Amino acid sequence: MRVRILFAKDPAVRFISHLDLARAWERALRRSGVPLKLAGEFNPHPRLVFAAPLSVGACGERELLDVFLAQGMGLDEFARAVRTRLPAGLPLLGVREVSPEEPALTAQANLADYRWEPRGPSALGSVRQDVEAGAAAAEVLHRAVEAFWAAPACPVERKTKSGQLRTIDVRPLLKGLAVEVGDLSSDGSRSSDGGRPAGAPDSAVVFRAALGTEDAVRPSEVVAALGACLKQVFAPEAGLVTRGWLYHENGEGGSLPLWPPTGDGPAMF
């Protein structure tokens, strides 16, 4: 049985790496006692397939994970067993059964929504992000986004795996970029979360970008490009990166969220 899990990586655990996250999930599943299918003769391990890794420091609101069970079981029963065995900060949001014939999650997820919220004083370079400057931050982001679309190209440097620096243009890689102000969390779950200066409105840039391919762009690169458009050095790490919905883009311009937003599929909690 193949079970797809919808979960979040909250700010509380944002500093764990993808490997840490995978290990935390494996241990939570072991604790829950669900019948995991083990693979491998020496060193038998359950197979966990994540849609896409999240980097250290990044949060996720709609993360996906496929697990494989040796025997079938009810989804409600599965969810009950697992949700109480997860560390704080990794809530289970939904489970559904997926046909074994469906392509691997990694192959399906090729597009994602991101949000970057400036939080630390250094996030917007010389523009201070504190109580008084809350509105100013939103304005800075607006100006940066305008400059971004107005510019002929938005180059940033990327370090390749071999350690060389390569210049890439961020602009054609983005499917959208905008500023959001107000309560940005889609389900309101984060509205009580700390990190925002008291009294300051949320302000963030949101964008949609490719995942896991040559065309993938890192949130830090987008933020750096935005800063460059204003001749500022933004500090991506002093803000909060959150990944939202994951999509499958079919190559003809259509894209569908990988977790059906409505219908009979998902069991939401």
Partner 1 sequence: MTDLERLIEYEILPRVAKPARYTGGEWNMIRKDHAQTAIKVALAFPDVYEIGMSHLGLRILYDVVNRRLDALAERVFAPWLDMEEALRARGIPLFTLESRTPVSAFDLLGFSLQYELSYTNLLNMLDLAGLPLAAAERDARHPLVIAGGPCAYNPEPLAPFLDAVVLGEGEEVLGEIIDLLARHKAAGGGMVKDADAAAGPDREAAIDGAAVHRQSRAQFLRDLARIPGVYVPSLYEVSYHPNGAVAAITPVKGAVGDGQSAAAQAPPVVEKRLLASMAGAPYPSAPVVPFIDIVHDRAMVEVFRGCTQGCRFCHAGMVYRPVREKTAAEVVDQAARQVASTGHDELSLVSLSSCDYSRIGPVLRELLDTHAPSGVGVSLPSLRVDSFSVALAQEVQRVRKTGLTFAPEAGTQRLRDVINKRVTREDILGTAGAAFAAGWDGLKLYFMIGLPTETEEDLEGIVELARAIVAKYEEVNAGHKRRRPVRVTVSVSTFVPKAMTPFQWEPQDGIDTIKAKQAYLKRRLPKGKIELNWHEPEASFIEAVMARGDRRLARTLEEVWRLGARFDGWGDQFRFDRWTEAFAKSGVDPTFYANRRRAEDEVFPWDHLTGGVDKEFLVDERRAAFHGQTTDDCRQVGCTNCGVCPALGVAIDLHPEDDRAERDGRAERGDRATVAAVPASPAESLSEGGTAR
Q: State in Å, rounded, how far the first CA of the chain is from the last one.
A: 21
CB 25 within 8 A of CB 90: yes
Task: Figure out which of the listed residues 1, 53, 68, 85 binds partner 1, where binding follows CB under 8 A.
Answer: 85
The CA distance from 252 to 12, in Å, is 38
Site stretch for partner 1 (CB under 8 A), options 44-52, 98-106, 147-155, 166-174: 44-52
The site string for partner 1 over 149-188 (x = CB under 8 A, - otherwise) reads: ----------------------------------------
Residue 239 binds to partner 1 (criterion: CB under 8 A): yes
Nearer to partner 1, 37 or 171 (CB): 37
Beta carbon of residue 69, minimum distance to partner 1 (angstroms, whole number): 13
The site string for partner 1 over 19-38 (x = CB under 8 A, - otherwise) reads: xxx-xx-xxxxxx-x--x-x
Residue 199 binds to partner 1 (criterion: CB under 8 A): no
Burial of 29 (0-12, 13-18, 19+ CB in 10 A): buried
Residue 88 binds to partner 1 (criterion: CB under 8 A): yes
Residue 59 binds to partner 1 (criterion: CB under 8 A): no
The CA distance from 203 to 221, in Å, is 19
Task: Figure out which of the listed residues 6, 8, 16, 225 binds partner 1, where binding follows CB under 8 A.
Answer: 16
The site string for partner 1 over 208-237 (x = CB under 8 A, - otherwise) reads: -----------------------------x
CB 4 within 8 A of CB 64: yes
The CA distance from 256 to 150, in Å, is 29
Residue 99 binds to partner 1 (criterion: CB under 8 A): no
Task: Figure out which of the listed residues 123, 144, 211, 228 binds partner 1, where binding follows CB under 8 A.
Answer: 123
24 three-state secondary structure: helix
Beta carbon of residue 78, minimum distance to partner 1 (angstroms, whole number): 16
What does 178-222 look like in DSSP terms, one character per residue?
EEEES---TTSTTTT-S-SPTTPPPEEEEEEEE-SSTT---HHHH
Residue 127 binds to partner 1 (criterion: CB under 8 A): no
The CA distance from 225 to 157, in Å, is 9
Task: Figure out which of the listed residues 42, 99, 214, 264 binds partner 1, where binding follows CB under 8 A.
Answer: 42
Task: Produce one character per residue of 228-266: b if its CB has 16 or more CB atoms within 10 Å, e if not.
Answer: bbbebebbbebbbbbbbbbbbbeeeeebeebbeeeeeeb
Amino acid type, 241: V
Residue 91 binds to partner 1 (criterion: CB under 8 A): no
Task: Figure out which of the listed residues 1, 13, 75, 181 binds partner 1, where binding follows CB under 8 A.
Answer: 13
Residue 128 binds to partner 1 (criterion: CB under 8 A): no
Burial of 159 (0-12, 13-18, 19+ CB in 10 A): exposed
User: Which residues neighbour 72 within 8 Å (Cβ) at sequence distance 6 or greater?
Assistant: 1
Can you give the binding site for partner 1, defined by CB under 8 A?
11-13, 15-17, 19-21, 23-24, 26-31, 33, 36, 38, 42-46, 56-57, 85, 87-89, 119-123, 194-197, 237-240
